[in-house]
Amino acid sequence: MSFFSALIVAVLFSVGVYLLLQRTLSRIILGLALMGHSANLLLMVVGGRAGKAPIVGAFGPEDTVADPLPQALALTAIVISFGVISFLLAIAYRSWVLTQNDEVEDDVEDARIAQLGEAEMRRWWSRPR
């Protein structure tokens, strides 16, 4: 398989991860969209080499035919990732309506636990031995 298609898969995934790690909800969703593209392309690339479309009558007995099975898988994956992205967008929209904020804040409960834990840790280390 071609070196270049693997490179596209990798760059899309890498940029997707970068966006996923941001605090802005819209960028996180964009990152997920890119990661979805990357995964779909991965399916195709891993599935086999390029060839004629797998349509009966469109290829002759001598032609290389593209593998239809990963295509069917990728087809499903494209549609599902669209469903997921739409749902996330609806959540982002709802979150904006309620809080007028597009930022992912730190979880308040978790932060409280972390504070307690840090206090325990400090006490643990400062305890006279």
Partner 1 sequence: MFVLILAFGCVAAVLPALAARIGRGVFYVAAAVPAAAFIWGVGAYGQIADSGPLIEQAAWVPQLGLTLGLRFDGFAFLMLSLVAGIGVLVFIYAGSYFHAEPIIGRFAATLLLFSGSMVGLVLADNLLALFLFWELTSITSYLLISIEDEKTAARSGAMQALLITGMGGLAMLGGFVLLGEAAGTYSMAELLARPPSGAVVNVALVLVLIGAFTKSAQVPFHSWLPRAMNAPTPVSSYLHSATMVTAGVYLVARFTPAFADYSLWRPLVISFGLASMLIGAYRSLRQHDLKLLLAYGTISQLGLMMLLFGVGTKESIFAGCTLLLAHGIFKAALFMLVGIIDHQSKTRDLRKLDRLGAQWPVVAAAAGVVAASMAGIPPLFGFIAKEEALGALGETGFAWGVPVLIGVVIGSSFTVAYSARFVWGAFGPRPVSMIPHQGSVRNEAVGQQVPKPSKMFLAPVVVLAALTLLFGLFPSLIDPVIARAYASLVGVRAEDHLALWPGFTQALALSAVAIGAGFALFWWRLRVEKLQDSMPKVASAQRGYDRTVKGLLEGADAVTGFVQHGSLPIYLGVILLTMIVLPGVPLLSDGVMPDLWFADSPMQVVVGFIMIVCACAAAVARRRFAAVLLVGAVGYGMAALFVIQGAPDLAITQLLIETLGVGVFVLAFRHLPADFVRPKFRRSQGAQIAIALLAGVFVFLFTLFAIGARTEPSISGEYLDKAYSEAGGNNVVNVIVVDFRGFDTMGEIVVLAVAALGVAALVRAKRSPAEVEP
- Show contacts with partner 1 in window 2-61 (CB under 8 A): 2-15, 17-24, 26-27, 30, 33-34, 37-38, 40-42, 44-58
Is residue 128 part of the contact set for partner 1 (CB under 8 A)? Answer: no
Structure tokens at 18: 């970068």
Binder of partner 1 out of 60, 79, 126, 129 (CB under 8 A): 79
Q: How far is the CB of 43 from partner 1 (least distance, A)?
A: 10
Is residue 117 part of the contact set for partner 1 (CB under 8 A)? Answer: yes
Q: How far is the CB of 84 from partner 1 (least distance, A)?
A: 7
| Residue appearing with tokens 């399916």 | 43
| Residue appearing with tokens 């790690």 | 21
What are the residues facing 4 on neighbouring strands?
A: none
CB atoms within 10 A of CB 35: 19
φ, ψ of residue 50 to 5 degrees: the values are -65, 155
Side-chain-side CA neighbours of 22 within 13 Å: the count stands at 15
Q: How far is the CB of 95 from partner 1 (least distance, A)?
A: 9
Is residue 126 part of the contact set for partner 1 (CB under 8 A)? Answer: no
Binder of partner 1 out of 61, 62, 108, 126 (CB under 8 A): 108
What are the residues facing 103 on neighbouring strands?
A: 24
Is residue 114 part of the contact set for partner 1 (CB under 8 A)? Answer: yes
Structure tokens at 29: 């969703």
